[in-house]
Structure 1
Amino acid sequence: MARKVFFSFKYDDVERAKRVRNSNAISADTAYGFIEAADFEAFERQGDAAIEGWIGAQPAGTTVTVVLIGANADQSRWVKYEIDQSIARGNGILTIDISKIATLNGEMTDCCNVRVRGYNHYLWNINYGHANLRTWIENAAKAANKA
């Protein structure tokens, strides 16, 4: 069953986030939460209410939120807001450390300490995210009674 999945991440990690999304573990038409830089900047110019409105619309119809954690996710109030919104919706949640996914330039970072208490956390490279993401999503959905 194809699940609608919301991806939460700090925009600094968009390159790594897109690699997770494009890993063929899930269908691209079931992944929400991705926005192009120019569109996000337009929301920023409109103010916090516009960003909150966009974020609020994203998890609609999703059953799982995947929080992608890079070096600075803990500095993003929007990642926290997306997590809070997802919990309020009753979405299944999981976090994935994406800091060791190399960028196109071969760069890697350290991971910050963002975790969502009571939900599973994975390391993309060490835990074979490419092979296991679909299972992780299903497990998160079942844990939230979204089966």
Structure 2
Amino acid sequence: MARRTFFSFHYERDVWRSSIVRNSARLKPSIEAEFIDASLWEDAKLVGDAALRRLMDDGLMRTSVTAVLIGAETASRRWVRYEIDKSIERGNGLFGIYIHNIKDRFGNTDQPGLNPLPASCKTYDWVYNDGYNNLGSWVESAFQESGRI
């Protein structure tokens, strides 16, 4: 069964690396990728915090798993923290993927960032743990560990 998965990440710094992960998710039959479109994000930022919260709440609706894409500054992002807290409230399966080893459009990797997730959440490295081939099993494992039916 496909798991509807929300992808949380620091947009400004990690959009390139995140797109690699999100686009690979679209190719996996076990994952229905859910993320906030950049144009919606920009529009909501103009309206204010309440609009951003609604946008994120709507994005998380009907999801059963949240994947936090961990880059150099992800842990310091207030809206990533909000998405993690809401995912925990919802009972979503939750896991992290370190994305700093994914090359950007210029061929550069980044510095590893701090893990913003609770200690009980599993984390993986996209490059070293072969995320392209293992993302589906990571999503399923997080779902199973959440205890959701």
Q: TM-score, normalised by structure 1?
A: 0.92
Q: Which letter does structure 1 place at the counterpart of 2:95?
A: L
1:19 and 2:14 are equivalent in the alignment = no
| 1:39 match | 40
In the TM superposition, residue 91 of structure 1 has moved relative to its aligned partner by 0.2
Judge conservation of contact 1:115–1:121 (CA < 8 Å) in 2: no
Q: Which letter does structure 2 place at the counterpart of 1:85?
A: K
3-state SS of 1:31 partner? strand
In the TM superposition, residue 40 of structure 1 has moved relative to its aligned partner by 1.8
| 2:85 match | 84
For 2:140 and 2:148, locate their aligned partners in 1 and report how far apart those are by CA, in whole Å. Answer: 9
In the TM superposition, residue 34 of structure 1 has moved relative to its aligned partner by 3.1
Deviates more, 1:130-139 or 1:110-119: 110-119
Judge conservation of contact 1:44–1:50 (CA < 8 Å) in 2: yes
1:51 and 2:52 are equivalent in the alignment = yes
| 1:141 match | 143
Structure 1 segments unaligned to the other structure (5+ residues): none
3-state SS of 2:24 partner? coil
| 2:74 match | 73
Q: What are the Cα deviations for residues 43-74 of structure 1, in whole angstroms up to 9, with x where unaligned?
A: 11101110011001111111100000011102
In the TM superposition, residue 39 of structure 1 has moved relative to its aligned partner by 2.9
| 2:105 match | 104
3-state SS of 1:6 partner? strand
In the TM superposition, residue 3 of structure 1 has moved relative to its aligned partner by 1.0
Q: TM-score, normalised by structure 2?
A: 0.91
In the TM superposition, residue 22 of structure 1 has moved relative to its aligned partner by 1.3
Q: Could you list the runs of 4 or more consecutive aligned residues of structure 1 that deviate by over 3 angstroms after TM superposition?
A: none
For 2:46 and 2:9, locate their aligned partners in 1 and report how far apart those are by CA, in whole Å. Answer: 20
In the TM superposition, residue 114 of structure 1 has moved relative to its aligned partner by 1.8
